[in-house]
Every structure is written in C-alpha cells, then in structure tokens.
Amino acid sequence: MGDKSLQSALRYGLGGTFAVLPRLTIGGEAGGFQKSGTGLLASGNLGVHFRRHVETGFDPFATGGITGVRIGGETGLYANVGGGFNQWFRPRAAFRLEFRGYPGRQDLNSFSEIRFGISFR
C-alpha cells in the first residue's frame, strides 16, 4: 500500500463477537474509512476477557487478529492487537472503549486507533 497511511482517518463500522468459551470470544467487523477518498476494512479476531461473566460493571479484554484493508485500488493485510473494556451499565447494554494497533511491514504503514461504541447482548 505504499505511502498510504490511515492515521487521522475517520473510521466507521459494525461488528459482533460471540462467546465460544467462558472467557474466549470470536468476532468480526466490517466498515469503511474516509481520508482523501474512501476505503474498506474488515477484521476477524479472537478476544480474551479477564473476568468470567459480568452482569454489570467493568469487563476488561485483550484482542488480536487479522485485518484486510482496501484503499486507493490497493489491498493490504495487517495483524492487529489491542485491548479495552466494556462498562456494563445494564445486563444487556454497555459502553465500549478499545485501543487497537496495526503493525506494518515493508510495504504497509503501521497505524492505530481508539475505538468506542455501544455493546449489546
């Protein structure tokens, strides 16, 4: 992807995670971004929650996976790593805050993002 960077891009999307074990989740997401043109991004991830089952309160997690990006007619594949937390204010609704980093390599620039949203279950 040459000198294209996603730093300072507006990113938006939808995703979901599913519990496969008491503390292990599998998830995916798809979305777009806007930075002097539009692009697409999709990820698949595994997540580990540090507390078993949280009805309400603080729920920290770590995540990692693979991300594909399409920008300016070029495609790149990244690893991603991150962590964050859900703050469950009701048994089925939470505020979510997450940091995710995307290490680059030879032809891909590294980038990172701070993500926030609403979680439902």
In this predicted structure, the answer to whether residue 25 has a pLDDT above a threshold of 70 is yes
**Residue spans per domain, the chain:** 19-120
Query: Which pLDDT does position 5 carry in this prediction?
Result: 58
> What secondary structure does DSSP assign to 6-71, as a single string?
-TT-EEEEEEEEEESSSSEEEEEEEEEEESSSEEEEEEEEEEEESSS--SSEEEEEEEEEEEEEEE
| Beta carbons within 8 Å of 105's beta carbon, 6+ residues apart | none
Higher-scoring residue by pLDDT: 9, 92: 92
Q: Output the pLDDT for position 89.
A: 95
Please name the residues in contact with 88: beta carbons below 8 A apart, sequence gap of 6 or more: 54, 55, 56, 57, 59, 94, 119
Q: Which of the four pLDDT bands, split at 50, 70 and 90, describes residue 37?
A: confident
CATH number, span 19-120: 2.40.160.20
